[in-house]
Structure formats: structure tokens, C-alpha cells
Amino acid sequence: MTYIVDAVDNALKLLSYVAEHPGLGVTELSTQLGINKSRTYRMLCTLELHRFVVQDAQTSTYALGPQAFVLGVAATQQNTLVRSASRHMLALNQAINETIVLRVREGLETVCVARCETTHQVRAVGAVGNRRSVNHGASGKVLLAFAPAAVRTDYLARMKKMPEAPDLIALVEELDAIARKGYAVSLGEVTAGAVAISAPVRDMSGATVAAVAVSGPEMRIGRAEIPDYLERLQACADAISAELGYTGARAAALPA
């Protein structure tokens, strides 16, 4: 027996898709979600009535409406992780003036749940709510390296079935190295020329619940800057973890 209400399920899927892919019309949304076009339109009209989405009068495309932002703000205020992380992320952002990002794992994806932007004109493009495959970028690698064994096994099994599967032995070795060091560094994996440094955030049980990262262009975050930024980032991750109740210690490993 299922307690899922199909109409609500489809409406929420539609709202989530608009959040992740703004600027699409009824036809595109209907096709992408596999929902009848007339039904998609009726759901959009209902969401628009309650201000969860708005329609651009000129292009007939949809984006999130003001009520969605109300929910977003409320979720941020009620989310213990984001609330605990915000002031520490802001302090690091103000100290080095680079973008600070907090990501969590949902299944085999990672989701950005908080960002503090740099004031520099040249910056990494991104937004809260952004999703991407786990193991994509420094934060993804941290979240996969510190994930339960079953999650890593599931991910590797899926990668093995890909037409052009990556070198799984090399990937496992990389993840093991990240777990030993306690951080990950990526260059150009998500955005060409962008550097990211990420460290795990733990809760009171010791489980890794998020990854906090510094990101910016290679011209500002070079080999000379990485050790200092990593030390600051790990201090930030430790402070957030402490607020979540984590009392364990980590080895302070700096890159050679």
C-alpha cells in the first residue's frame, strides 16, 4: 500500500525541475518530466496562483516565484547544518575573499545548500540548489571518500556499467588518499581554470554530513596559496563540526 498522492508527487517534481532548470516553457517541461502537456499546464497555473512559480509574459517560460524564496529562507533558518555553517563560512569568505560553498550528498548526487560569494569579478558560477554527480569536483570527492561503504560500492558499480567507464582502480586509490589526508583539491573539473579545495564536515556521530570548499580561479589560488587556504578551510570545517557536536580530532595534513 502506498500513501503517495500522484498529483502532489508530480507537482513537486515539476516545481523542483523549474528550480533547477529555469526558463523552460510548458512543452519542454512536459517532455522532460514525461507528464501530459495539459496536465503540466494546469499544475503550473496552480503553482503560479500560489506564487511558487512565475511566467515570463514575453517568452511564456517559467521560473521560481516569491513564495519559493519564502520557503528557501525558512528552510535555511530551520536547517541546523546551514545555520551552524553560515557564520563560519562568512568569516572565511571575508578573510580570503573567495567563494565558500557547502555541499551535501543526496544519493549519488551532491547539492549546494549554502554559498558565500567573492567580491571579485572573476569567480566560479553557481547557486544554492545546484546539483551534480557525486565525485564531480573536490566536494563531491570528499563526500564520496567519506561516504558509507555501500554508497561507494553502488557508485563504482554504476560507473563500471558505463560505456566508457573510468579507471576504477585509480578512482578507488584517489578516494582512499582523500580519506587519509582529510581533504581534496581539484583543478578544472567543474569549470575550466577553477581550483577548489574541500574538507569534510562531521556531526556528533562522526559521520560526514557535508563538504565545505573554497573555490576560485587558478590565477588567484595557485600552489603557493593552497597550503594557507587549506589550513583556514580545515579550521572552518572543524568549527562547523564542533557546532554539530563532533568532538573527535583530525590529522592536520598539508599538501607537499
* Helices H / strands E in the chain, number of each: 9, 8
Domains of the chain: 6-70 (1.10.10.10), 79-243 (3.30.450.40)
- Distance, in Å, from the CA atom of 106 to the CA atom of 54, rounded to the nearest integer, reads 27
Percent of the chain with pLDDT over 90: 73
Dihedral sign, Cα of residue 171, residue 176, residue 179, residue 185: negative
Kindly state the average pLDDT of the residues 91-106: 96
pLDDT at 253 over 50: no
Tell me what the pLDDT averaged over the chain comes to: 91
pLDDT of residue 256: 38
pLDDT band, very low/low/confident/very high, at 73 (cuts 50, 70, 90): confident
The string of pLDDT tens digits covering residues 121-158 is 877 777 888 888 998 899 999 999 999 999 999 999 99
Kindly state the average pLDDT of the residues 202-218: 95
- Full-model pTM: 0.74
Q: 8-17, 218-227, 244-253: which has the minimum mean pLDDT?
A: 244-253
